[in-house]
Amino acid sequence: MRNTIRTRGRSRLTIATAGLAALSLVVAACGGDDDAAVPAVDDVVEDIEDAVDDAVDAVDDVVDDIEDAVDDIVDDAGDDAGECETVDSVTLQLQWFVQAQFGGYYAAISEGMYDDYCLDVTIAEGGVDIVPQQQLADGAVDFAIAWVPKALQSREAGADIVNIAQIFERSGTLQVSFVEAGITTPEDFEGKRVGNWGFGNEYEVFAAITEAGLDPATDVEHVQQQFDMVALLEGDIDAAQAMTYNEYAQVLEAINPETGELYQPEDFNVISYEEVGVGMLQDAIWADAQKLVDDAEYRDIAVRFVAASIEGWAFCRDNPEACATIVTDAGSQLGESHQLWMMNEVNKLIWPAASDIGITDQAAWDRTVEIAQNTANLEGATVLAEAPSPDAFTNDIVTEALALAQDRGVDTGGSGFSPIEVELREGGE
């Protein structure tokens, strides 16, 4: 196919060149009759020859381009034909807009991991009112990323979904306060204005308060928090809820009016709920439970999807800068240093993975369920009324996926992982 095009292109070119050359000879010959006109005719002939040269060059370029394009197509077709009998289309629902929090999935697209596993993955970004596990339960998407407590809540309400890969091993939720407020442990929340985001994001805060022996209803003043950190900086909140990978960076990107420089980590006390012992499991891949049982093809796709995603996350672990760039190219408006910070912090939540990335740790699961069942918020509501059935998560899919990825030489434990140092700039730029 490629050769046919080349030959055909070349032969047409030859004919065209020959034709023009003949024409110029004729012109030259005609010019011979009138001596005075000869120089002029010569000029014309030269012009024509130049033009022909230019045209030949241009045609050559086009031919080259076509050849390149054909090469690409042939290569792609070769890959597909060589390894994939069919390519399966998969849609993944995120919890929020494209950002480094989801770097592994974007990397698996742009670095070709999904291609390698014969998958064509479309990522559906989240929005303010998109509930990923609901989109999954409605059948609008094939897989969804969701925090475990919220997904379990939907599951209790009837969504037939199952956690097939616990990507984030650790919770990234913090409570950040100025050093002057003297809040170093949850016990210090007493009598303070403590911010939380509500909408099911507040349970770690309430669990920490309860664990500290305080009554969430009377001992602490709760403040509903926006998704920025202005309230903390303006002094409306003593301790603000923050994710390591996002809101905490936001305060470190802001100018401290007293020094004229950026706020420094030393300016803040940070309580990590993971360290306090009330961390709840966060980003996990959820799948349609019924389809996983009934539909062998869907199950097979799930294994390949998890395997490729794991490879994407491994890529982001080893190439945080490249991964941050991939996410930015996918349309994220976050600044460069903020994006890299997020990538690095997300890596810390995943790596090193004690029992390989994606494996749900029974103890962490039980702790999450325990808090979800026993911690009441201000309205007295708990996330879960009763414990979820044991089939709310499965390690079967991810175990098969890990074997696939390991066969391809991917390090799925990341025991040698060490985070990079990211310097935040003003506004996260």
Partner 1 sequence: MTRRRLRTFALALVGLLAVAVLWEFYKLVGPQRGGEIFGWGILPRANDNVMPHVWDMFARYTEPDRRGSETRIWQTVLGGGWFTFRLAFLGFAIGAVVGVGLAVLMARFRVVERGLLPYLVVSQTVPLIALAPLVVSWGGRVQVGDFVWPRWLSASVLGAFLAFFPVAVGTLRGLKSSPPAALELMDSYAASWRSSLFKLRFPAAVPQIVPALRLAATASVVGVVVAEISTGLQGGIGRLVIEYARQATSDPAKVYTAVFGAALVGLGMAGIVALLDKLLMRGRPPTEPDIVMGATT
Among 86, 218, 333, 415, binds partner 1 (CB under 8 A): 333
Among 103, 216, 335, 414, binds partner 1 (CB under 8 A): 335
> Quick check: 285 binds partner 1 (CB under 8 A)?
no
What is the CB-side half-sphere exposure of residue 50 using CA atoms within 13 A?
6
Among 32, 39, 127, 265, binds partner 1 (CB under 8 A): 127
Among 24, 241, 328, 347, binds partner 1 (CB under 8 A): 328
> Quick check: 103 binds partner 1 (CB under 8 A)?
no
**Closest to partner 1 by CB, 292 or 327:** 327
CA-to-CA distance for 315 and 338, rounded, in angstroms?
19
**Closest to partner 1 by CB, 97 or 417:** 97
CA-to-CA distance for 375 and 381, rounded, in angstroms?
8
Cα 143 off chain centre by = 14
Token match 């007293």: residue?
Answer: 258
Residues 6+ apart with CB under 8 A from 370: none
> Quick check: 230 binds partner 1 (CB under 8 A)?
yes
Among 119, 148, 214, 229, binds partner 1 (CB under 8 A): 229
> Quick check: 161 binds partner 1 (CB under 8 A)?
no
Token match 């002029």: residue?
Answer: 40
> Quick check: 321 binds partner 1 (CB under 8 A)?
no
Residue 312 CB coordination number (10 Å)? 26
Among 13, 28, 118, 140, binds partner 1 (CB under 8 A): 140
Among 337, 368, 375, 395, binds partner 1 (CB under 8 A): 337
3-state secondary structure of 243: strand
> Quick check: 250 binds partner 1 (CB under 8 A)?
yes
Cα 254 off chain centre by = 25
Token match 């996990």: residue?
Answer: 284
Among 24, 101, 133, 135, binds partner 1 (CB under 8 A): 135
CA-to-CA distance for 237 and 360, rounded, in angstroms?
35
Sign of CA dihedral 131, 133, 134, 138: positive
Binding stretches for partner 1 (CB under 8 A): 91, 96-98, 122, 124-131, 134-135, 138-140, 227-230, 233-235, 247, 250-251, 253-255, 328, 331, 333-337, 425-429
